[in-house]
């Protein structure tokens, strides 16, 4: 059985934050999640994550998803893999992939294809490599006709070796039984007094075993982050890769400034994404929409031909032919039906807004069921919370809610009913009725003259 060990014990001191380095996010997901996802997509059967600094954060994140091992002291990559010996010994017949939890761009294709090469060449170890234009700082791969002769680090390389552009990604396939044997032979006889996993390659070759290298088609497999600048570079690389994917699928961008689209988002062809827009989570957007500028959409399903201008929407559904904005907030569990028009400074929460309904501006609709072709005037509020519990309002089809109407939940307004401007509704209104509640107007003549005379 093939399995993977992911090294995720690093602290990342230069990040200046009390979380493990693999938990820093790239496009909204921890770097560790990118690596786990690649393993799962490649159908790696078993996974063990080696934790270290603030290990409980990672264990809480993983839950029961995979096994973990703990590295109490950070004594090198080889030492980290040693902490997973019990995991390795549970199945010694197959192959083991070793990955870095802070190198997020390893991909399923590279994992699968490198394993095929590893098995076909009968290698004890196979290094996953990449050709890069700027190899400075990386270990260079020394190849022979029959495999590789080793890995030389930048500081130890000759001028000729520094000219090599094929570099070590830090990812390896091992025959599991060979890995267990090789781990027992590496030492910490170096300036750092650490156990390096790269030493296993030289030891394997010295003992007559074969070592090979698989050069990935994806040069980004080598990329990691040691500080905030490096993390920004990872985010930029991932951001542009996602934008390029969407453009290839027919999504339009007039300018990509400030646009962040997480890789789980799906967008239909003909849709245009305008600057400053952030699309997160399981968001799905239909065809021929215009989203932006300055929208934040998270876990929301959007139909076709929708126009959103400066809208924030979370965990909701927006049907086709809806127009919204600017400055609209759609809070979770809302459903905006087709043809609705939502204007500026409107907030909707846990509500259904019917087909063709218009909420022009400056309104709050919370915990409500609004019918079809309703008109809700400026300044209207569904008063859904009495300080103890929240209650719902129901507004029938074709109702007309006048400006500055307050609906004190729970109330039900019938179809085709009207409320006069300034009305506070505290009881149900039947179909076709008009509700008026303005009290008695009192005019105090000369009031301001008397008021200012006292001063």
The alpha helices in 4-50, defined as continuous H runs, are: 31-41
Whole-angstrom CA distances from 41 to 38, 93, 111, 447 are 5, 22, 9, 77
In whole angstroms, what is the distance from residue 341 CA to residue 109 CA?
Answer: 45
Hey, CA dihedral for 42, 198, 9, 129, is it positive or negative? negative
From 329, 361, 373, 398, the catalytic residue? 361
Q: How far, in Å, CA of 369 to CA of 382, rounded?
A: 11
- On whether the CB atoms of residues 28 and 262 are closer than 8 A, the answer is yes
Q: Which of 10, 32, 6 is nearest to 20 (CA)?
A: 10
Distance from C-alpha of 332 to C-alpha of 395, rounded to nearest angstrom: 20
Task: Quote the CA–CA distance of 18 and 8 in Å, as a whole number.
Answer: 14
Contact 384/393 with Cβ under 8 angstroms?
Answer: yes
Tokens 């719902």 belong to 392
Closest CA to 6 of 28, 29, 37: 37
Q: Which of 300, 246, 308, 234 is nearest to 276 (CA)?
A: 308
**How remote is the C-alpha of 202 from its chain's centroid?**
39
Q: Which whole-number Å values give the CA distances from 21 to 233, 373, 452, in the listed order?
A: 15, 52, 67
Helix (H, G, I), strand (E, B) or coil at 437: coil
Angle at 258 between CA 254 and CA 262, to 5 degrees: 100
Q: Please spell the DSSP secondary structure of 227-251, one letter per residue.
A: SHHHHHHHHHHHHHHHHHHHHHTT-
In sign, the C-alpha dihedral spanning 448, 450, 451, 452 is positive
Interatomic CA distance for residues 365 and 380, integer angstroms: 8
What 3-state DSSP class applies to 109?
Answer: helix
79 is annotated as an active-site residue: no
Q: Which residues have a catalytic role annotated?
A: 361
């Amino acid at each position: 059985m093939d399995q993977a060990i992911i090294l995720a014990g690093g602290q990342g001191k230069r990040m200046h934050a009390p979380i493990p380095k693999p938990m820093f996010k790239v496009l909204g997901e921890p770097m560790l999640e990118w690596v786990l996802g690649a393993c799962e997509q490649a159908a790696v059967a078993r996974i063990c994550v080696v934790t270290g600094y603030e290990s409980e954060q990672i264990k809480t994140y993983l839950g029961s998803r995979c096994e973990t091992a703990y590295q109490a002291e950070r004594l090198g990559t080889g030492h980290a893999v040693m902490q997973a010996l019990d995991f390795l010994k549970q199945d010694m017949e197959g192959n083991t992939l070793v990955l870095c939890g802070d190198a997020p761009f390893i991909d399923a294709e590279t994992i699968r294809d490198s394993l095929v090469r590893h098995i076909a060449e009968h290698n004890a170890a196979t290094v996953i490599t990449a050709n890069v234009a700027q190899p400075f700082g990386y270990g260079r791969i020394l190849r022979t006709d029959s495999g590789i002769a080793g890995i030389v680090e930048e500081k130890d390389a000759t001028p000729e070796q520094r000219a090599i552009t094929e570099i070590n990604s830090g990812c390896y396939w091992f025959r599991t039984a060979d890995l267990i044997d090789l781990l027992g032979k590496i030492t910490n006889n170096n300036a750092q007094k650490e156990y390096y996993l790269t030493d296993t390659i030289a030891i394997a070759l010295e003992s007559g075993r074969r070592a090979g290298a698989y050069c990935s088609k994806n040069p980004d497999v080598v990329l990691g982050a040691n500080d905030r600048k490096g993390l920004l570079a990872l985010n930029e690389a991932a951001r542009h890769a996602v934008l390029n994917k969407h453009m290839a699928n027919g999504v339009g961008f007039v300018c990509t400034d400030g646009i962040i689209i997480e890789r789980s988002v799906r967008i239909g062809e003909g849709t245009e994404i305008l600057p400053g827009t952030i699309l997160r989570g399981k968001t799905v957007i239909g065809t021929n929409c215009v989203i932006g500028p300055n929208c934040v959409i998270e876990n929301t399903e959007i139909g076709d031909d929708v126009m959103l201008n400066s809208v924030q929407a979370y965990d909701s559904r927006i049907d086709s032919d809806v127009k919204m904005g600017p400055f609209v907030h759609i809070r979770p569990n809302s459903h905006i039906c087709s043809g609705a028009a939502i204007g500026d400074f409107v907030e909707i929460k846990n509500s259904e807004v019917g087909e063709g309904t218009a909420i022009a501006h400056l309104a709050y609709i919370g915990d409500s069921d609004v019918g079809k072709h309703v008109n809700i005037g400026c300044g209207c509020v569904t008063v859904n919370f009495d300080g103890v519990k929240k209650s719902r309002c129901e507004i029938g089809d074709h109702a007309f809610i006048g400006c500055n109407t307050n609906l004190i939940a729970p109330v039900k307004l019938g179809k085709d009913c009207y409320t006069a401007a300034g009305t506070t509704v505290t009881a149900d209104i039947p179909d076709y009725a008009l509700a008026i509640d303005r009290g008695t107007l009192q005019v105090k003549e000369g009031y301001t003259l008397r008021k200012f005379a006292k001063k």
